[in-house]
């Protein structure tokens, strides 16, 4: 072979090698890019799916979307908050909880369930007239064990559908052996349904929806810092709410002790803390009160780590922000006597 031909063969061989190598690199890049594109497409698809996720309905008291039925009737249960009754059962499932003074400096809870029901609720405690009025704002079945004279008159005049442990102690209401009366009365969700059948109460309802902020509006809330909130009801009874940046909720506590569910140990946390000031008047030696829940007044709405000083109003029996709205999620409403500037602290 002549030198010229020899160099020609070598040159062509080199070109062939470089061409094949380039093709392989290109092929590898295509595969790699394909993998990246596929992963990116998958992530994008997930994001689009999440973004486009829609629900057929929205729960009226939480503003949370669902594909389940939303026509179940609300149930309002009087829950004991004496220190001997803690931890309570079922509060973690409540859409709304009203906390109001009942006797002396002890508060009592009105837990309103609609989007979900716990298996057991309690300890169940006695009724007060103003709790009944609050329950009426949601057309709820009212569940209590005992009553004040004013509450008894309202209950047995047919003001609301109700179940009372004074009528069904040992049947619908059961006494727990790990606590002593009056801190040991409990009722199950099954017995609540049985009770509704027994008294002829409707189990479904077309409940009016509360006002809720959009996701964008929720993020842009402005106000004073409120990461730690305390409400002092007097004589050492202090309620606390601590904000979680990660969960965007407030965990409740009593006298610095976390409020949890007795059965599941689930912390009680909410998206909205609404503190409202209302005139209180002691009406008897037992420390029972008359509370003005109709006139409106000063309030503090606490959400997303900030607090807004606003007003409250009574809208068809419901205590709501005047001109404001809740963030979708659960809500805790503390009703406090006049002098809120001294009893409520935030930082």
According to DSSP, residue 165 is labeled H
Please list, in sequence order, all residues whose beta carbon lies within 8 angstroms of the beta carbon of residue 118, skipping any fewer than 6 positions away. 89, 90, 92, 93, 189, 261
Enumerate the domain spans of the chain: 58-347
| pLDDT per residue as tens digits for the range 32-59 | 443 444 455 455 545 555 555 789 999 9
Q: 58-347 adopts what CATH topology?
A: YerB-like fold (3.50.90)
Summarised one tens digit per residue, pLDDT across range 268-281 is 999 999 999 999 98
Could you tell me whether strands 141-144 and 75-79 are parallel, antiparallel, or unpaired per DSSP bridges?
A: parallel
Give, as one character, the DSSP assignment of residue 208: P
Model pTM score: 0.84
Check residue 24 and give its pLDDT. Answer: 47
Can you read off the two tokens belonging to residue 103?
């006797």
For residue 33, report the phi and psi dihedrals to the nearest 5 degrees: -60, -35
| Residue 132's pLDDT band (cuts 50, 70, 90) | very high
Percentage of residues in the chain having pLDDT higher than 70: 85
Is the per-residue pLDDT at 29 higher than 90?
no
């Amino acid at each position: 072979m002549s030198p010229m031909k020899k160099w020609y063969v070598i040159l062509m061989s080199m070109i062939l090698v470089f061409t094949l190598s380039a093709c392989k690199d290109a092929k590898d890049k295509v595969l790699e890019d394909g993998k990246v594109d596929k992963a990116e497409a998958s992530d994008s698809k997930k994001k689009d799916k999440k973004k486009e996720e829609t629900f057929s309905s929205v729960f009226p008291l939480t503003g949370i979307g669902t594909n389940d039925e939303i026509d179940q009737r609300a149930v309002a249960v009087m829950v004991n908050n004496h220190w001997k009754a803690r931890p309570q059962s079922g509060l973690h499932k409540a859409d709304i909880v009203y906390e109001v003074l009942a006797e002396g400096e002890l508060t009592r809870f009105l837990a309103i369930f609609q989007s979900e029901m716990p298996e057991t609720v309690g300890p169940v405690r006695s009724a007060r007239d103003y709790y009944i009025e609050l329950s009426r704002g949601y057309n709820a079945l009212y569940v209590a064990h005992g009553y004040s004279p004013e509450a008894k008159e309202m209950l047995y005049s047919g003001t609301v559908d109700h179940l009372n442990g004074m009528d069904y102690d040992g049947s619908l209401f059961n006494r727990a052996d790990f606590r002593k009366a009056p801190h040991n009365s409990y009722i199950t969700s099954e017995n609540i349904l049985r009770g509704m059948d027994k008294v002829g109460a409707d189990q479904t309802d077309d409940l009016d929806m509360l006002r809720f902020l959009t996701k964008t509006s929720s993020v842009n809330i402005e106000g004073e810092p409120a990461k730690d909130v305390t409400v002092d009801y007097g004589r050492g009874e202090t309620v606390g709410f601590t904000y979680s940046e990660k969960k965007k909720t407030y965990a409740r506590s009593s006298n610095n002790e976390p409020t949890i569910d007795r059965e599941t140990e689930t912390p009680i946390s909410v998206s909205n803390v609404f503190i409202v000031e209302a005139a209180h008047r002691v009406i008897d030696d037992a420390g029972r009160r008359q509370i003005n829940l109709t006139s409106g007044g000063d309030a503090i709405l606490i959400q997303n780590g900030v607090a807004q000083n606003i007003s409250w109003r009574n809208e068809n029996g419901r205590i709501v922000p005047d001109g404001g709205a809740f963030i979708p999620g659960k809500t805790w409403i503390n009703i406090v006597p006049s002098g809120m500037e001294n009893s409520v602290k935030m930082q």
